[in-house]
Amino acid sequence: MSEKTARPPLEPHYDPWDIPNPSVWAQKRRLADAMRRVIAHMVLSDAPEEELSAAADALERYADRLASHPKLERVMGHAEAANAGNVAAFFDQSPLIGLANPLAPPLLIGRTGERTAAATGTFGYAYEGPPGHVHGGFVAAAFDEVLGYVQSLGGNPGMTGRLTVHYRKPTPLHVELRFEAELVRVEGRKIFTTCQLFAGDDLKAEAEGLFVSIPPERLRGLAQERATPR
């Protein structure tokens, strides 16, 4: 067995229950998981018209029910790892790693060393680009999230300044993937990172990310703008 396939599974990088109203978030995660299943089955479904119509009617009614309830004024924790500056922050609403976001595969991400991190995840048909393989845009988005996480090991929130992806081979669907990332160096406000993507021991893609450290008050200002009614 090779070095990569022998590595132990990742542990969650944050405590998903260290939040107000944990029972509410448990149901949000359950709902998000059910929605992922709907999306996964719908993409390839050859169900008859009446079945699809009934499903659409039910989902439209439920969307209206959800819309009638109050909305969160701000994201709980952070929606993006790079903005946290704290790798143990709460990320349930992230579109890549959020357990309560049905858009997320989700990826499981964790620290593996002082300046390194890894993530694992599986992409289904909803993320397909080339036949049987992950759309390159989702590969790039996953790189951005994992690199954003590893740059946070420096202790500062940042934003992506440049992301360069080298696609070596098509990335397969329905196979557990592993991202291995490193915080390479910091030069003033610039944070340099790298990451590799593997399916088993087969290298599929590589990326370099340049992040720019930003003052925490800048993020707080953006959060206040988001909370302002429009």
Query: Which pLDDT belongs to residue 156?
Result: 81
Output DSSP code: residue 133: B
Domains identified in the chain, total number: 1
Rg value, the chain, Cα: 19
CA separation for the pair 181, 138 (Å, rounded):
17
Residues of the chain with pLDDT under 50: 1-4, 77-79, 82-88
What is the per-residue pLDDT across 177-193, written as a single tens digit (0 to 9) for each? Answer: 999 999 999 999 999 99
Predicted confidence at residue 140, as pLDDT, reads 99
> How many helices and strands (H and E) does the chain possess?
4, 6
Nearest 10 degrees: Cα torsion 114, 93, 146, 9: 70
**What CATH number should be reported for the domain holding residue 4?**
3.10.129.10
Closest CA to 195 of 132, 153, 156, 135: 153
Q: How remote is the C-alpha of 30 from its chain's centroid?
A: 17
Q: What domain range includes position 148?
A: 1-230
Answer whether 81's CB lies under 8 Å from 145's CB.
yes
How far does Cα 56 stand from its chain's mean position? 27
Nearest to 152 by CA among 123, 122, 186: 186
Q: What is the pTM of this model?
A: 0.83
Q: Could you report the per-residue pLDDT of 78-113, keeping only the tens digit for each?
A: 445 544 444 445 678 889 998 999 999 999 999 999
Give the per-residue pLDDT at 6.
Answer: 56
Neighbour tally for 36: CB within 10 Å: 18
Q: In this structure, how many other beta carbons lie within 10 angstroms of the beta carbon of residue 37?
A: 12
